[in-house]
Amino acid sequence: MKKILSVFIIVLIPCILLTGCWSYEGLNEMTIVTGVAVDYDEVEKQYNLTFEIIDTINSSKQTGVSTAVVESKGTTVFTAIRKVKRKLPSKLYFGNAKVLIICGHVAKEKGIKELMDFFARDHEPRETFLVFVTKDFEAKDVFQAKEITGKVISHVITEIVQEDTHRSNALIGMKEYEVHNQLQRNKQSLLLPVIQLKEENKKKITIVEGLAIFKKDKLIGYITGDEAKYVMFTIDRVIKGTLAFDINQNGKDDVSFEIMDSSTKRNVEYKNGKATYFLDILLEGTIVEKQEDIVVATPKDILKIESAINESINKKVTNAVEISQQKYNSDYIGVAKSIYFKDYKLWKTLEPQWDTLYPQCDVQVNCRSRILSTGLVE
């Protein structure tokens, strides 16, 4: 009995003494960061980091959440973060950070591998924050923009991406761990969403539109929002969305097609010194809008529209592939990745000369669409 009691006491004492969070910090001891923007000062040769932070003093139930912006410079990202302490009474807390916005100039000239490596190693930021690239302006300008909704800008940007993936299928939301893993493996070129600033009613507002193309870890170009819709098919990232088609081929769109389901089966073959990449797109959706001269009364009419949709998507996805191969020579559609997983030994022989081989790959696109409904009318 004494032995059992002794064991019980030994077990109980650590439970009492070691209970609680050893690293607990109160809200008054931290500054909550919602977003980070990264620029580079070429004159001073330093990173310029801008943080969007929650202003806990001026936030209230009546006025809502208020934010503030603070900047810091350093020769490294970590140094810049440490220097913020000179401007704030409490340490920065990155556990609630939603976005990392990288200046396009930084991504083009310096690359982003070192940046992503820092955020991957640091224990505080979550691996799920989204990564963006700017076009033609500094990243810090995003946090100076005036949002239509009046919300926290980092939260607005996150909501735009989440909503767009189910509406227009023109954006790809890339989380930190996805970007880091893709850069480390280096089997498929990186695509990141682009943030732009546009003036509306004499105010600058943030627009998330288009894709940034990378080769290794450096930015080499951009894809427009319209082109991005069809790039999504090549990497099987289409969830839902709406596409417009010129069925009668008279120079104007006459049918709006809402995607209900989409999948792209990808396969690669290597014969006679040449790779052939197959993209088989299966698409299901409904007609949500049409012009009067588009008839949907019979199965024959539906087949005609499906055939026109197939032809249009084949053409536009092929154009997206040609941009990848001929304009940028950046394998963001994933041919190398498919070869790597299918035949590792073959990939090791092709890898040293892939920059020469990739533009010569034959990519065959085949779309099969199915109209599930034409609406309540007819």
- Span 188-230, pLDDT tens digits: 999 999 998 887 777 778 889 999 999 999 999 999 988 999 9
Q: 99-102 and 91-93 as β-strands: parallel, antiparallel, unpaired? A: unpaired
Question: For the chain, which domains are there?
Answer: 28-223 (no CATH), 235-378 (3.30.300.210)
3-class state of residue 58 by DSSP: coil
Residue 173 token pair: 């939301």
Residue 45 token pair: 């040769």
Instruction: Sort residue 123 into left (φ over 0), alpha (ψ -120 to 50) or beta.
Output: alpha
Separation CA 170–CA 161 (nearest Å): 9
- For the chain, which residues score pLDDT lower than 70? 1-29, 56-64, 146-150, 166, 376-378
pLDDT of residue 163: 82
- Span 103-161, pLDDT tens digits: 999 999 999 998 998 888 877 788 889 999 999 899 999 988 765 555 788 988 998 88
Q: Which residues contact 284 (CB under 8 A, 6 or more apart)?
A: 259, 260, 261, 262, 369, 370, 372
Residue 116 token pair: 């992503």
Separation CA 128–CA 176 (nearest Å): 6
Residue 248 token pair: 């009668």
Q: Which residues contact 272 (CB under 8 A, 6 or more apart)?
A: none
DSSP string, 183-213: HHH-SS--EEEEEEEEEETTEEEEEEEEEEE
pLDDT of residue 26: 52
Half-sphere exposure of residue 150: CA atoms within 13 angstroms, side-chain side: 5
Q: Which residue has the tokens 């599930």?
A: 372
pLDDT of residue 23: 53
Q: What is the DSSP letter of 231?
A: H
Q: Which residue has the tokens 């020769």?
A: 75
Separation CA 169–CA 365 (nearest Å): 19
pLDDT of residue 18: 60
R_g over Cα of the chain:
26
Separation CA 224–CA 229 (nearest Å): 9
Identify any residues that bridge with 226 across adjacent strands, giving them in sequence order.
none
Separation CA 206–CA 213 (nearest Å): 20
Question: What pTM, to 2 d.p., does this model score?
Answer: 0.86
Separation CA 39–CA 139 (nearest Å): 6
CA distances (Å), origin 79, targets 30, 91, 103, 123, 161: 18, 14, 19, 16, 31
pLDDT of residue 62: 63
Contact 367, 317 (CB under 8 A): yes
pLDDT of residue 169: 76
Contact 160, 208 (CB under 8 A): yes
